[in-house]
């Protein structure tokens, strides 16, 4: 029950802070839920919310499975006959997805917050500044346990899901709070 409460608090925080949730450009995004830098990781307290056949375990971490077809999309993504994409778990999607296009990734064994460079919003300086502000606010609200979890996830993603540098915009290195 405590984990669910933490999850709800974090989700509400992210939803209230993210500057990208209601943008018109995002409504029928052609990039989100596609595997480049994106790999939908789950925090430990989220795992129970998803059927195991929709998950893949890599290095002890759970991720949402992606399709085996090209292009590679999230298994929860619905694509209508006009090519418009919609999330089939919109209200229950993982925190990682709620944060998009901001995510974490390891770069040369260092954990970073990144902005998905394939997102059209990444070309506008204002959006990058908004993302940096979002990350700062999140880190102020995350304790070291949550930051440690993000660092581990960044390492797992780097090791298992390499990317091309053109697909990212660095926002900030993830660091534990000093006591």
pLDDT tens digits, residue range 18-49? 677 666 666 666 666 766 545 678 888 888 88
pLDDT for 72 beyond 80: no
Residue 178 lies in a domain: no
pLDDT for 13 beyond 80: no
pLDDT for 124 beyond 80: yes
Residue 179 lies in a domain: no
At residue 37, the pLDDT reads 46
- Reading the block at residue 172, the tokens are 């900030």
Q: Give the contacts of 102 (CB within 8 A, at least 6 positions apart).
A: 18, 20, 113, 114, 115, 116, 131, 134, 135, 171
pLDDT for 101 beyond 80: yes
Residue 104 lies in a domain: yes
What total of structural domains would you count in the chain? Answer: 1
Which tens digit of pLDDT belongs to each residue from 52-67?
888 888 888 888 887 7
Q: Is 8 helix (H, G, I), strand (E, B) or coil?
A: helix
The whole domain housing 114 covers 2-173
Residue 41 lies in a domain: yes
């Amino acid at each position: 029950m405590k984990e669910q409460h933490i999850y709800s608090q974090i989700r509400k925080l992210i939803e209230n802070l993210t500057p990208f949730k209601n943008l018109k450009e995002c409504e029928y995004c052609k990039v989100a839920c596609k595997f480049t830098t994106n790999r939908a990781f789950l925090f430990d307290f989220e795992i129970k919310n998803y059927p195991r056949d929709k998950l893949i375990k890599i290095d002890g971490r759970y991720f949402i499975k992606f399709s085996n077809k090209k292009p590679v999309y999230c298994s929860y993504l619905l694509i209508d006959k006009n090519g418009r994409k919609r999330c089939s778990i919109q209200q229950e999607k993982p925190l990682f997805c709620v944060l998009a296009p901001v995510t974490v990734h390891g770069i040369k064994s260092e954990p970073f917050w990144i902005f998905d460079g394939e997102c059209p919003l990444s070309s506008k300086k204002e959006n990058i500044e908004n993302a940096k502000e979002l990350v700062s606010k999140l880190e102020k609200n995350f304790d070291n346990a949550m930051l440690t979890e993000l660092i581990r996830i960044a390492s797992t993603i780097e090791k298992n899901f390499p990317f091309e540098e053109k697909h990212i915009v660095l926002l900030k290195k993830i660091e534990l709070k000093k006591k």
